[in-house]
Amino acid sequence: MEPPKILVIDDEEISRISCERILRRLGVRVQLAATGRAGLDILMREPHDLVLVDFKMPEMDGMEVTRRIREFDPEIVTIVITGYATIESAVTVMKEGAYDYLPKPFTPDELLIVVKRGLEKRRLDQESKALREEKEAMERNFVTLVSHQLRSPLSAVYQYIEVLLSSIAGELNAAQQEMLERIRERLDGLLQLTNDWLDMSRIQAGEIVNRLKADSVMECVKSALSALELAAQQRQIKIDVQIPGDLPPVHLDRDTLREALSNLISNAIKYNRIGGEVRIRAEERDDWVVVECEDTGFGVDEKEIPFIFDQFYRGKAREVREQQGTGLGLAIVHRIVRAHGGKIEVRSQPGKGSTFSVYLNRAKDNGSSGQPEHVAMKAL
Amino acid sequence: MSTKGRVLIVDDDPDFVKTVKMVLLADGYEVSVANEGRKGLELVLEYKPDLILLDIMMESIFEGFSFLGVLRTAPEYEELKSTPVLMVSSVKADTGSRFTFDDGEDMGDAPEPDGYMDKPLKPKDLLDRVAALIRR
């Protein structure tokens, strides 16, 4: 570690030199300045840990120097050397932010004690600052860290299975192959569960409100759809999108709204009959822009509708149970839509299909900046 | 000996390293391994890989980015700084739970890798990406 740096500001050469000589015993680096201004110039160019400044100097006195140092960097420890050590002058400089004062004349030991204590304070300040920053970074990245801890072992296991299935480690017989494929499927479910669960904790209403911007719904629908093409093909589902080009923008956060729409559309594909249809529409209704996702699937029993947005709730129907799912998809949608200041409605007929309607706040006509205040109110 | 290319894996998870190594070897690559960033940087100079497979979170959470920063900017890596880097992490990219990439203050001007993949890697996807990046 670098030795601490001390700056001595004193207009009397003899005091400067003797201070320097004494302080060198501490193994610190010492710089000298003959005026307050010269001292401040040095501080601007080069960070110091501690400043010793004489109270009585022509032009800029010790009090003024102390004040300016505090403005510039309050973490620098300032010690004022005062010739006429009255209680008042001491109190005054302490008020200006000095850490301590030293009355003249002083012995080398007295100087060393005060300076050592000042350096110790500086060290503790720096340490606690570093710890605080580390803690804040941990908090900021909490979800990331948990995600990493959960997903790393799963990923490692998954890759072993992939390697085994690719026959790099030798040929498998049919039974082994089948079992490993089953393991991989279950593991997929587990990875999905950790993702969904992490999404739940990530979606903090307050943060979404801060990110809301007037934007087009179409873009979100498009990007949600692009990731679902394959799933739709596999179940031979036809997807029909009808969004008018002149639809007004809404207050939205692209990342999360795309995720909400993606969950809805993915459900509409997953819980649909083979060869079924998914229709996505959007229209303006009063102050809302309503996005609807309609499917031709199994539908939801009326009795179940109040529960489908609950965490971990899964439909009772056999067709639903046959599909892999975490019971978090709709809970995530609900949370995201609420954070957008919107609402969601469901209509369903068992055996015919369901329609999920997402109500989003239409942005005011005057454009892109938007006025998220009223949205924030509704999201609470 | 003719191989498809030399790949350096920088990752602290021995199981990840083992499986990826098997996949790459089986496909005809030469593979070298470092289990932390500093060792990885030494190996870059020594081994001059055609591609680096780099984990983001190792001992520290941004270790992969520090590695990449040194590789792209330090004078001793001048000749090797354009070695393609494929970054991997088990922190999923598309959920946004992966760090705060769009937070300028947090990431500063973090260097960009040439590619990014989520763990777990599927052998075929991995080989496709590696081949594409080396060919480039």
- The Cα of B10 is separated from the nearest Cα of chain A by a number of Å equal to 15
Length reported for chain B: 136
Burial A104-119 (b: 16+ CB within 10 A, else e): eebeeeebeebbeebb
- The Cα of B91 is separated from the nearest Cα of chain A by a number of Å equal to 5
> What is the model's pLDDT at position B110?
66
Residues 6+ apart with CB under 8 A from A107: none
Residue of A nearest to B103 (CA): A140
> What is the model's pLDDT at position A311?
84
Option in B61, B98, B119 nearest A155 (CB): B119
> What is the model's pLDDT at position A132?
87
> What is the model's pLDDT at position A141?
72
> What is the model's pLDDT at position A82?
83
| ipTM value | 0.82
Torsion angle, alpha carbons of A135, A147, B41, B116, to 10 = -130
Which residues are A290's β-sheet partners?
Answer: A283, A359
Residue numbers in A near B122 (CB within 8 A): 162
Torsion angle, alpha carbons of A118, A124, A126, A129, to 10 = -140
Residue of A nearest to B56 (CA): A148
Confidence of residue B42 (pLDDT cuts 50, 70, 90): very high
Cα–Cα distance measured from residue A206 to residue A376, given in angstroms and rounded to the nearest whole number: 8
CA A194 and chain centroid, separation? 19
> What is the model's pLDDT at position A83?
76
Q: A145 and chain B: CB distance < 8 Å anywhere?
A: yes
Q: A143 and chain B: CB distance < 8 Å anywhere?
A: yes
Which residues are B51's β-sheet partners?
Answer: B7
Region B81-100: mean pLDDT is 70
Encoding tokens for residue B127? Answer: 């080989």
Confidence of residue B33 (pLDDT cuts 50, 70, 90): very high
Q: How many CB atoms lie within 10 A of CB B28?
A: 11
DSSP string, B7-71: EEEE-S-HHHHHHHHHHHHHTT-EEEEESSHHHHHHHHHHH--SEEEEES-SSSTTHHHHHHHHH
Confidence of residue B85 (pLDDT cuts 50, 70, 90): very high
Q: Which has the minimum average pLDDT: A206-210, B23-27, B100-104?
A: B100-104
Cα–Cα distance measured from residue A49 to residue A119, given in angstroms and rounded to the nearest whole number: 7
Residue numbers in B near A195 (CB within 8 A): 92, 95
Size of interface A-B (CB pairs under 8 A): 83
Residue numbers in A near B120 (CB within 8 A): 154-156, 158-159, 162, 191
- Of residues B106 and B87, which shows the higher confidence score? B87
Encoding tokens for residue A373? Answer: 């205040």
> What is the model's pLDDT at position A205?
59
Q: B74 and chain A: CB distance < 8 Å anywhere?
A: no
Encoding tokens for residue B17? Answer: 């390293």
> What is the model's pLDDT at position B92?
62
- Residue among A348, A341, A356, A361 nearest A280 (CA): A356
Cβ A148–B57 below 8 Å, yes or no?
Answer: yes
Option in B13, B20, B95 nearest A152 (CB): B13
In this structure, are residues A251 and A214 in contact, taking their beta carbons and an 8 Å threshold? Answer: yes
Task: Map out the domains of chain B as residue ranges.
Answer: 6-135
Torsion angle, alpha carbons of A251, A253, A259, A260, to 10 = -30
Region B52-78: mean pLDDT is 88
Residue numbers in A near B64 (CB within 8 A): none
Output the CATH code of domain B6-135.
3.40.50.2300
Q: Is the pLDDT of residue B97 over 60?
A: no
Cβ A162–B123 below 8 Å, yes or no?
Answer: yes
Cβ B90–A148 below 8 Å, yes or no?
Answer: yes
Residue of A nearest to B122 (CA): A162
Interface test with B, best of A143, A144, A200, A213 (most B CBs within 10 A): A144
> What is the model's pLDDT at position A203?
74
> What is the model's pLDDT at position B86?
95
Option in A145, A154, A198 nearest B61 (CB): A145
> What is the model's pLDDT at position B21?
96
Cβ A199–B61 below 8 Å, yes or no?
Answer: no
Q: B87 and chain A: CB distance < 8 Å anywhere?
A: no
In this structure, are residues A249 and A288 in contact, taking their beta carbons and an 8 Å threshold? Answer: no
Residues 6+ apart with CB under 8 A from A217: A243, A247, A249, A250, A252, A257, A282, A289, A291, A360
The interaxial angle of helices A13-23 and A108-140, nearest 10 deg, is 70
Q: How many CA atoms lie within 13 A of A1 on its CB side?
A: 6
Per-residue pLDDT of chain A (380 residues; tens, 9 = 90+): 689 999 999 999 999 999 999 999 999 999 999 999 999 999 999 999 999 999 888 888 888 999 999 999 999 999 999 876 677 777 888 888 899 989 888 999 999 999 999 999 999 999 998 888 878 777 767 777 777 788 889 999 999 999 999 988 899 999 999 999 999 988 988 888 887 877 777 776 567 888 888 999 998 999 899 889 888 999 999 999 999 988 999 999 888 899 899 999 999 999 999 999 999 999 999 999 999 999 999 889 888 888 999 888 888 888 888 887 888 889 999 999 998 999 999 999 988 999 999 999 998 754 444 444 444 333 33
Q: A255 and chain B: CB distance < 8 Å anywhere?
A: yes
Question: Hey, CA dihedral for A331, A332, A335, A336, is it positive or negative?
Answer: negative
- Residue among B15, B87, B24 nearest A161 (CA): B15
Inter-CA distances, B53 with A96, A149, A157, B48, B91, Å? 55, 20, 19, 13, 16
Residue numbers in A near B20 (CB within 8 A): 159
Cα–Cα distance measured from residue A53 to residue A48, given in angstroms and rounded to the nearest whole number: 13
Q: A155 and chain B: CB distance < 8 Å anywhere?
A: yes
Q: Is the pLDDT of residue B27 over 90?
A: yes
Residue numbers in B near A156 (CB within 8 A): 13, 15-16, 19, 120
Inter-CA distances, A113 with A3, A82, A168, B63, Å? 17, 16, 70, 41
Option in A144, A163, A191 nearest B19 (CB): A163
> What is the model's pLDDT at position B102?
41
Cα–Cα distance measured from residue A76 to residue A66, given in angstroms and rounded to the nearest whole number: 10
Q: How many CA atoms lie within 13 A of A303 on its CB side?
A: 3
